[in-house]
Amino acid sequence: MNIQPPFNFGTLVPSMRIFLVRHGETDWNLEKKAQGHTDIPLNERGVRQAVAVAHHLRNLGRFNVLSSDLIRASETARIIADQLGSQHQESHDLREQGFGIFEGKAYAEVGQELDSLSEKLQVPRHEVQPEDGESAKMVWNRIQPVIDSLYSDTIIVCHGGTLGLALAKLLGGDLSLARSFWFSNACVNELERQRNGFAKLIRYNDVAHLKGIE
């Protein structure tokens, strides 16, 4: 894999901190169903998880808080932003991959469907687009403007699949790297983007702040 800096700044810029947070738990997470664009709210434990993340990050100061516009992510982000006294902005670009006709099915079944389509169409899995849905490659492309816009300390709250793609981009990897990552609900991932444009991974899938509520 040819690793390149994920940013093209032309001139050196100050380092900054980026936190990637997965939304709190939903009932569909418990049932291991693919949510995609289906707008499932946080359940009771998911709200407690969001509060725990907010309490954990409360001393960061006024970070920018960006999130997906789907309620499970936007509500998690609002709770965090309120604790930090920060503004919260939503973006459609940070949504989870749309699984179309597969939404509501078990993750394992969706994976089998995508693998089957990949073999049938003779294309890589990340190029498989479910009916009424998106391919992972499409999500990879739609989050690029968000990554390009990161010029100050930022907390991004979104979804497991989208976080994997974002982390792969920030680390300078390619799309296939995203499948190496897995994220727990309400986990915290911390990166430092250095002056040379590379991002250094400080924490991955940290859930220590959830101790006592699980």
Q: Show the domains of the chain with their CATH numbers.
A: 16-210 (3.40.50.1240)
- DSSP, collapsed to helix, strand or coil, labels residue 45 as helix
Question: For residue 74, how many other CB atoms are within 10 A of its CB?
Answer: 23
Active site residue 209: no
Catalytic residue among 96, 103, 126, 159: 96
Q: Is 127 a catalytic residue?
A: no
26 three-state secondary structure: strand
Which strand ranges, in their side-by-side order, compose the sheet holding 154-158?
A: 88-91, 64-68, 154-158, 16-22, 188-193, 199-206
- How far is the first Cα of the chain from the last one, in angstroms, to the nearest whole number? 38
Question: How far apart (Å, rounded) are the C-alpha atoms in residues 33 and 40?
Answer: 11
pLDDT in tens, the chain (214 residues): 333 344 443 344 568 999 999 999 999 999 999 999 999 999 999 999 999 999 999 999 879 999 999 999 999 999 999 999 999 999 999 999 999 999 999 999 999 999 999 999 999 999 999 999 999 999 999 999 999 999 899 999 999 999 999 999 999 999 999 999 999 999 999 999 887 777 999 999 999 999 988 6
0.75 exceeded by the pTM?
A: yes
What pLDDT, on a 0 to 100 scale, did the predictor assign at position 5? 42
d(CA 139, CA 161): 9
